[in-house]
Every structure is written in C-alpha cells, then in structure tokens.
C-alpha cells in the first residue's frame, strides 16, 4: 500500500508512468493498473489522514465485479525486447499473438513487427540531455578523497567528497564528510538543497548502497530512510543504471570539475578538522560557480539565479532531522531490537513485521504505516524499554504485585492470613517465588470465605505449617471448624495421681539423703 500511495504522489507531481515505475520499483503495467484503480475509486493525492492501509486496499481492490475497461494502447517494447533476449526460441509472432489476445483491437502482425524494428533502431544512440529548470539534481561521491589530520594524535583519516549538480544551470555544491554512510548521505542532500534554497523535482543518485538497497534499472529498491527524505522534500528518486555513465553525464562532469578545480588546488594544504576542510572547499566551489563557461558570457551562478532558482520547489517549513528506518520483527516478548536495545510494541503484534524509525531523541515503531509505539531513545544502561500499556493484562497484574502489597492484602483478610503470607515470602529464595502461593491464598478466600481462611491460617501457624498446601488441606478437611488447643501438645502423657507411683522426685530426694 505504501508504493501505491507513492505512485499517487508522483502522479500528482506530473510524473509519467515510466518514471513512476522506475522510482517506485514497480512495473509500468502495475503502475498503470494501480493508477486506473485509484481513479475509478475516486482517490487522489493527498490521501485522507484517516485512510490506513486496510481501508486503502479495500477501496482499490474490491471484490471482483468488473474488469478494467481501459487497456494499454501500445506494446511495452522494452518488455518485448527483454523477452526475446531471455528465451532463445521465442519469436515475435508468438509475442504478437499473446499481445493480440489481450488487445483485440490492436495492430496486425506486420504493423507490430515494423513498429518494433522502428523502436529498436532508436535505441543505442547518444542523446545530449537537456533538462528543464528546476527539474533534476544529480548527486554522487567523488572518486578522489581529501585527508584530515587529527590534531591530538597526528593520525590521518580520509574524507569523502559529496558532489551535487543542478541539471539546467550546472550549479555545483560540494562538501566533505567522514564517510559514505546513510547519515552522511542524507544530510549532504539536505545541505545541498539549503545551499540552493530550493529542491529539484527529481533527484538522480548513483546506485550507492546507502541510498539504493537493490540496484536494478527495472525495479530499483530505494532505502526507506532515503525515500522518507524524498517525501519530506517533495522530490522523486530516480537512480541511474549500473555501469551507465551516460545516464548521469551532468554529475560525472561536475565530479570531474570538482576534482580538477576544487580538490587539486587544495592538495598541498593540511586540514585539521572537517569544518576547516569544508570552508576551503566552499571557497573554491564559489570560484568555479562564478567562472564563465568557455565561449559564453554567463556562469553557473548566472544561469542559476536567472532560470533555475525561481523554478525550484520551496524547502519544507521545518528542517529535516535524520531518521534511520529499519525493518524488524516483534519478538515473543513483544519487543523489537534496535541499536543493542529492545523497545516494546503492543503484545498483539508479536511475530509481525514492523518498521523502526529512529531519530536522535525518539524511537517510533510503525505497523502497516500506522504508528503503534513511541519511546524516548535510550543511551544509558537500560536494555529493555517497556510501555506498561503494551503488556497483556496477565503480565501487568503480575508486575503490579509486590511483597508489601501482598502482605497488606492478606492482612486485610485477617491477621493470621497476613502472617502466613509473610512466612511464605520469607521462606523462598526470592520473594517472587512466593507470589503464586500468596495469590493462591487469594483464591481460597474467594472460594471458602474470609472467616474460614483466617481460621485455617491460624491453625497452620499453630502447628508450624505456614504454606498454601497446608492451608488448603485444613480447609478441605474442615479442620478450621475445630477449636484450637489451648496448650501445646506434648508427646509424654501426664502422670496420674496414685500412692504407688513415686515419680522422679522420689529418687532425687533419696539421693540427697
């Protein structure tokens, strides 16, 4: 459902189906069918906030009652060509028959063949790309690096060089970063857009792993964090083909200019911080942007100010905060792992796939595009961060019991019950081991009543048998109804009074005499 929402957003931005397919990683036929279903259902961008994935799916894919009336007017020649290359014995006639079966009003075989040959003849030609103002921004990392000397240790660390180029004016933005990681990649985009004071409608990256999870011309998979950045800045991600430098000629040229006129002049300078290096880079880039093109009276900055800057889309009202998005699965303890810590989700999502959105301060967890949990990000020693509301009722009830609360409850039934509960808790290696026995006393009071349980506990204390099993046995045998003995029981019977029984005192008296 997320891809369908993205298709509607891109269609509202006046993108054609081919570019939408490349950006979302879906086939052109799939894009066409989904947009047709959305139009039939009366859906348009932006979607209503209350429309979740389930409601969107119900509107787009109702029970099959009728076929789509519209059909594809032209064959997908790229797919035809790919099928011919994939299967050695496949013929154009068989592909035409399959296409004609789905399009009764389509071309005849000869027309089908001639149009295919015409399309094939138009391939493998070099096209000098002309981009409209504000249409595209090309981004890439330079192959060359700069070095930073750590002032404290003298260690030399490499710095990556990010380059962005606007398609119409060639306006450059260059900055150094610590690496090509996701954070550096996304924040470099943000600073580039801020330097241009606007956003191009299309962003064309190379197939860098930080931005493109799966490099494929037909179905590229964009990193979720990169895709969320694009949505926030209302731009479209269109990655280039692998090993096809013609697709990004503008940025290849910009990288070459950067290496020759920005990095090369700084080769003999020493830099002791990233900020110092970026300040020197910014000065050189300003010189390059102000330099006139060969044989032309204008510079990159002149063209940018004249035609490109007015055509750029505005920046969002609030600055982007780096958000890392990762897929996770809720474990059996209804927690998901992120950054060596575990954050809770509602227990009903145990075993479900979720997305973790992590900022510097917050961990938000989404399931099917709906936020189901939010936590303050933990940096301390705690490993498990749990919202009590995410626990099942039985788990919450268990954790709410403490030794003092159990003894207080038991004393409310009767003093003897409280004393038995206290003895049970003290007899266990850990108080929690006695929780279940104390809760058993609670159930006995519900079944037998408070008076009988109090009497049973008093008898258990009298015979030194303070346990749940003893109290239950006393109740089952109705021993609680018998009166307690007034004195302690003795194994030696009392001496009866008789003149022939002298007793122990007689011998002690005789010995003294």
3-class DSSP state for residue 314? coil
Question: Is the pLDDT confidence value at 489 over 60?
Answer: no
Ramachandran area for residue 166 (φ above 0: left; ψ -120 to 50: alpha; else beta) = beta
Question: Is the pLDDT confidence value at 244 over 70?
Answer: no
The mean per-residue pLDDT over the stretch 82-92 comes to: 68
3-class DSSP state for residue 490? coil
Question: β-strand 146-149 against 202-205: which pairing, if any?
Answer: unpaired
The mean per-residue pLDDT over the stretch 439-448 comes to: 85
More confident residue, 209 or 213: 209
**N-terminal to C-terminal alpha carbon distance within the chain:** 111
Looking at residue 503, its pLDDT comes to 64
Q: Which of 19-33, 328-342, 391-405 has the lowest mean pLDDT?
A: 391-405
Q: What is the DSSP letter of 134?
A: T
Least Cα distance to 199 among 135, 255, 253 occurs for 135
The structure tokens listed for 127 are 């096209």
Task: State the DSSP string of 3-22.
Answer: HHHHHHHHHHTT--HHHHHH
More confident residue, 494 or 349: 349
Judge if the upstream peptide bond of residue 21 is cis by omega within 30 degrees of 0: no
3-class DSSP state for residue 205? strand
Mean pLDDT (the chain, rounded): 80
Q: Quick check: 182 and 325 in contact, CB under 8 A?
A: no
Q: Which residues are 212's β-sheet partners? A: 222
> What is the C-alpha to C-alpha distance for residues 240 and 230, in angstroms, rounded to an integer?
16
Question: Is the pLDDT confidence value at 154 over 50?
Answer: yes
Least Cα distance to 398 among 350, 359, 448, 432 occurs for 432
More confident residue, 1 or 471: 471
Share of the chain above pLDDT 90, in %: 25
Read off the pLDDT of residues 245-302 as tens digits, 9 standing for 90 and up: 555 566 678 888 888 889 989 988 999 999 999 999 999 999 999 998 775 677 889 8
Question: β-strand 353-358 against 324-329: which pairing, if any?
Answer: antiparallel
Looking at residue 148, its pLDDT comes to 92
Least Cα distance to 307 among 130, 477, 149 occurs for 130
> What is the C-alpha to C-alpha distance for residues 170 and 312, in angstroms, rounded to an integer?
14
Q: How confident is the model at residue 193 (pLDDT cuts 50, 70, 90)?
A: very high
Looking at residue 218, its pLDDT comes to 39
Looking at residue 217, its pLDDT comes to 41
Looking at residue 126, its pLDDT comes to 39
Q: Quick check: 239 and 207 in contact, CB under 8 A?
A: yes
Q: How confident is the model at residue 187 (pLDDT cuts 50, 70, 90)?
A: very high
**Sequence-ordered strand ranges (E) for 392-511:** none
Q: What is the DSSP letter of 1?
A: -
Share of the chain above pLDDT 70, in %: 80
Q: What is the CA radius of gyration of the chain?
A: 39
Looking at residue 485, its pLDDT comes to 63
Q: How confident is the model at residue 125 (pLDDT cuts 50, 70, 90)?
A: very low
Read off the pLDDT of residues 461-488 as tens digits, 9 standing for 90 and up: 888 888 888 999 999 988 888 887 654 5
Least Cα distance to 285 among 142, 442, 399 occurs for 142
Q: Tokens 């090369």 map to which residue?
A: 264
Read off the pLDDT of residues 341-392 as tens digits, 9 standing for 90 and up: 999 999 889 889 999 999 989 999 999 889 999 999 998 888 888 888 888 8
Q: How confident is the model at residue 72 (pLDDT cuts 50, 70, 90)?
A: very low
Question: β-strand 156-166 against 136-141: which pairing, if any?
Answer: antiparallel
Q: How confident is the model at residue 213 (pLDDT cuts 50, 70, 90)?
A: low
Q: Which of 207-211, 221-225, 303-307, 462-466 has the lowest mean pLDDT?
A: 207-211
Question: Is the pLDDT confidence value at 7 over 90?
Answer: no
Helices (H), 103-241: 109-121, 182-196, 224-232
The mean per-residue pLDDT over the stretch 166-173 comes to: 89
Handedness of CA 375, 377, 379, 384 (dihedral sign): positive
Q: According to the per-residue pLDDT averaged within each range, which of 80-84, 88-92, 172-176 is highest?
A: 172-176
Q: What is the DSSP letter of 199?
A: B
Handedness of CA 497, 499, 500, 504 (dihedral sign): positive
The structure tokens listed for 131 are 């981009």
Looking at residue 246, its pLDDT comes to 56
The structure tokens listed for 192 are 């580039």
Question: Is the pLDDT confidence value at 500 over 70?
Answer: no
The sheet carrying 341-344 orders its strands as 335-338, 341-344, 384-385
Handedness of CA 208, 210, 212, 215 (dihedral sign): positive
Distance of CA 340 to the CA centre of its chain: 15
Looking at residue 70, its pLDDT comes to 46
Q: How confident is the model at residue 66 (pLDDT cuts 50, 70, 90)?
A: very low
The structure tokens listed for 239 are 């990655």
Looking at residue 278, its pLDDT comes to 94
Question: β-strand 335-338 against 341-344: which pairing, if any?
Answer: antiparallel
Question: Is the pLDDT confidence value at 453 over 60?
Answer: yes
């Amino acid at each position: 459902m997320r891809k369908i929402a993205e298709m509607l957003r891109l269609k509202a931005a006046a993108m054609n189906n081919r570019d939408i397919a490349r950006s979302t990683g879906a086939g052109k036929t799939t894009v066409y069918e989904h947009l047709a279903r959305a139009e039939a259902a009366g859906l348009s961008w932006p979607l209503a906030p209350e429309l979740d994935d389930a409601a969107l799916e119900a509107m787009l894919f109702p029970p099959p009652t009728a076929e789509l009336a519209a059909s594809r007017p032209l064959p997908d020649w790229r797919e035809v060509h790919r099928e011919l290359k994939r299967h050695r014995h496949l013929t154009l006639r068989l592909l035409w028959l399959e296409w004609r079966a789905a399009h009764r009003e389509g071309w005849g075989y000869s027309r089908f063949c001639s149009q295919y040959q015409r399309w094939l003849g138009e391939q493998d030609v070099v096209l000098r790309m002309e981009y409209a103002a504000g249409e595209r921004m090309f981004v890439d990392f330079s192959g060359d690096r700069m070095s930073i000397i750590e002032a404290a240790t003298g260690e030399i660390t490499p710095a990556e060089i990010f380059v962005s180029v606007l398609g119409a004016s060639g306006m450059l933005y260059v900055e150094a970063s610590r690496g090509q990681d996701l954070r550096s990649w996304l924040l470099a985009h943000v600073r580039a857009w801020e330097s241009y004071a606007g956003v191009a409608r299309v962003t064309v990256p190379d197939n860098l792993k930080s931005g493109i999870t799966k490099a494929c011309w037909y179905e590229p998979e964009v990193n979720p964090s990169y895709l969320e950045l694009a949505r926030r800045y209302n731009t479209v991600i269109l990655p280039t083909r692998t090993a096809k430098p013609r697709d990004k000629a503008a940025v290849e040229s910009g990288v070459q200019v950067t290496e020759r006129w920005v990095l090369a002049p700084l080769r003999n300078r020493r830099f002791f911080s990233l900020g110092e290096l970026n300040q020197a880079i910014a000065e050189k880039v300003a010189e390059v942007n102000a330099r006139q093109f060969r044989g032309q009276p204008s510079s990159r900055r002149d063209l940018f100010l004249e035609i490109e800057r007015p055509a750029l889309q505005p920046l969002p009202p609030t600055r982007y905060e780096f958000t890392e998005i990762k897929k996770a699965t809720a474990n059996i303890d209804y927690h998901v792992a992120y950054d060596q810590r575990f954050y809770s989700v509602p227990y009903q999502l145990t075993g479900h796939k979720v997305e973790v959105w992590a900022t510097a301060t917050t961990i938000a967890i989404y399931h099917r595009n709906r936020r189901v949990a939010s936590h303050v990000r933990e940096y301390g020693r705690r490993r498990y961060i749990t919202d009590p509301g995410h626990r099942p009722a039985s788990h919450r009830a268990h954790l709410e019991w403490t030794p003092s609360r159990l003894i207080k409850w038991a004393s409310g039934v009767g003093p003897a019950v409280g004393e038995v509960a206290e003895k049970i808790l003290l007899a266990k290696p850990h108080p929690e081991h006695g929780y279940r026995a104390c809760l058993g006393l609670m159930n006995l009071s519900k079944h037998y009543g408070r008076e009988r349980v109090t009497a049973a506990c008093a008898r258990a204390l009298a015979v030194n048998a303070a346990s749940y099993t003893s109290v239950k046995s006393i109740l089952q045998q109705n021993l609680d109804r018998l009166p307690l003995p007034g004195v302690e029981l003795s194994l030696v019977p009392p001496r009866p009074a008789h003149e022939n029984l002298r007793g122990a005192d007689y011998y002690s008296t005789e010995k003294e005499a």
